[in-house]
Structure 1
């Protein structure tokens, strides 16, 4: 069956519905799974998606070919792009703010401050309600046992990483902030070791640099803690602990309040366990 390659997940879903009855029983299983679990399809592996659909991995390839794609990975990109494209570009955000007639120009600063405060309050309530306390404790234990704590965060996530480095270093723990100064990103990754912990922070659309650091850390046998915004974030696949944060936003300008608060809580929990902290800060040998 030949078909043109679709340009979006929505187009593909419509085509699947139109041609569903023409598919074999196996490919119908794939179709049902794709339509019912689009988020899982976005960042799942071929093996996990095939298992979820109850078919062999080769059926995914046949399905993709049936809809005009060269392979399943090419088709999967449509699902990934839709999930990652959750916020407009900065020019669109700027235009939205400029066209906001609900805010008087002479009171814009205080009005937006009030909106941001209200949004942050709601985000903090959600964080406290939904955060897995057991995972937070696991993160504390991993940090306390680490020979060296590596911290990675790029672009919007960099302030969170920097704050984490500042707080953790002041506890006496050995900390290495991967800041990429002078475009020297690669060399410092050689310091990653099996007795270390990587704390990585990234939110959609998920910095490629951070994903690369996580892959290097996993290859080195390093334990990995991630702070991210979605259970299907590509960061979670190789993580030992994934802490999920949904930040507040006003006109798509997202806050860092919840992430900063989570870092602060993590460090305070480490300090509270004085015995473990003292043992972790003690020089080796």
Structure 2
């Protein structure tokens, strides 16, 4: 089913990129890199740029969930904003840092374009009421998982985030029907995380996934998938860098909503947490 929400087309394409065939990925890359030009290009012109056939262009649009290339063009035209004013590339470390912050700010609409508010509410309710909450993240997602679990503990919602992959799978297998597994995976394809999700599904627990891509092995194992992504910061390392930026922000938002959902008990737990933190600060 094609994305029809304004502003969601490029985010939708980006989230499905890894699931495409190699020739389709080449075409999809043209859609992403030259979105403004594609609005004015025929399918044959896109094919020539991508080094593919016209039939591949149409098939790629359909694989992405659109009825065809023409629908994709129309929706890209709808989403197109004013032409960007070119700026000189930052040439100092300070300018590069400032440019990165600016890029993240400008990318917020793309980050949230695929988020379903109903699913977000379901996740918050689940985290608030589950008997046990297990958080799993591996590779570069591991620090996010540990931080999310620690933050939940800080508001009185017990959670655990084992780093050892066997411990993750054992803990997931011991979950029950009223428990939750929160998996954080930018790629959605980490095998250790997939095994933990499979174990949780076997145990009857509800699996929530935070990821950058809408089609992946982990999506197939998730009851709820929250997909957040953003355009490349450096035209490289999308899985290692840019998928983590929106995930950090999403988790921050989920924790804020969870704190509100838990109410007074969370406020009491947070106060106790601050007492402990304050006692460990040096003058």
**Could you state the TM-score of these two structures normalised by the residue count of structure 1?**
0.58
Matches of 2:188 and 2:172, distance apart in 1: 23
2:252 aligned residue (261, 264, 267): 264
Where does residue 140 of structure 1 map in the other structure?
124
Confirm whether residue 226 of structure 1 aligns to residue 221 of structure 2. Answer: no
Task: Give the number of aligned pairs.
Answer: 190
Equivalent position SS for 1:175: coil
Residue 140 of structure 1 contacts residue 269 of structure 1 at CA under 8 Å; is this kept in 2? Answer: yes
Matches of 1:156 and 1:248, distance apart in 2: 19
**Could you state the TM-score of these two structures normalised by the residue count of structure 2?**
0.58
- Alpha carbons of structure 1 residues 125 and 273: separation in structure 2 relative to 1, 3 Å: same
Range moving further from structure 2, 143-152 or 197-206? 197-206
Matches of 2:184 and 2:59, distance apart in 1: 29
Residue 169 of structure 2 contacts residue 195 of structure 2 at CA under 8 Å; is this kept in 1? Answer: no
Instruction: From the CA coordinates, give the structure whose radius of gyration is larger.
Output: 1
Which segments of 5 or more consecutive residues in structure 2 lack a partner in the other structure? 1-20, 27-55, 66-87, 270-283
CA RMSD of aligned residues (A): 3.2
Range moving further from structure 2, 243-252 or 222-231? 243-252
Where does residue 207 of structure 1 map in the other structure?
190
Alignment of 1:1-285 (within 5 A): 9-10=22-23, 37-38=62-63, 102-104=89-91, 107=92, 109-180=93-164, 184-204=167-187, 206-251=189-234, 252-253=236-237, 254-255=241-242, 256-274=244-262
Matches of 2:171 and 2:208, distance apart in 1: 18
**Displacement of 1:250:** 2.3
Equivalent position SS for 1:242: strand
**Displacement of 1:174:** 1.8
Matches of 1:159 and 1:185, distance apart in 2: 14
Residue 236 of structure 1 contacts residue 242 of structure 1 at CA under 8 Å; is this kept in 2? Answer: yes
- Alpha carbons of structure 1 residues 173 and 205: separation in structure 2 relative to 1, 3 Å: closer
Q: Deviations for 1:68-106, whole angstroms, at most 9, x for unmatched residues?
A: xxxxxxxxxxxxxxxxxxxxxxxxxxxxxxxxx9553xx
- Alpha carbons of structure 1 residues 146 and 126: separation in structure 2 relative to 1, 3 Å: same
- Alpha carbons of structure 1 residues 103 and 129: separation in structure 2 relative to 1, 3 Å: closer
Residue 150 of structure 1 contacts residue 177 of structure 1 at CA under 8 Å; is this kept in 2? Answer: yes
**Displacement of 1:184:** 4.5
**Displacement of 1:248:** 4.9
Equivalent position SS for 1:249: coil
Equivalent position SS for 1:225: strand
Where does residue 32 of structure 2 map in the other structure?
none
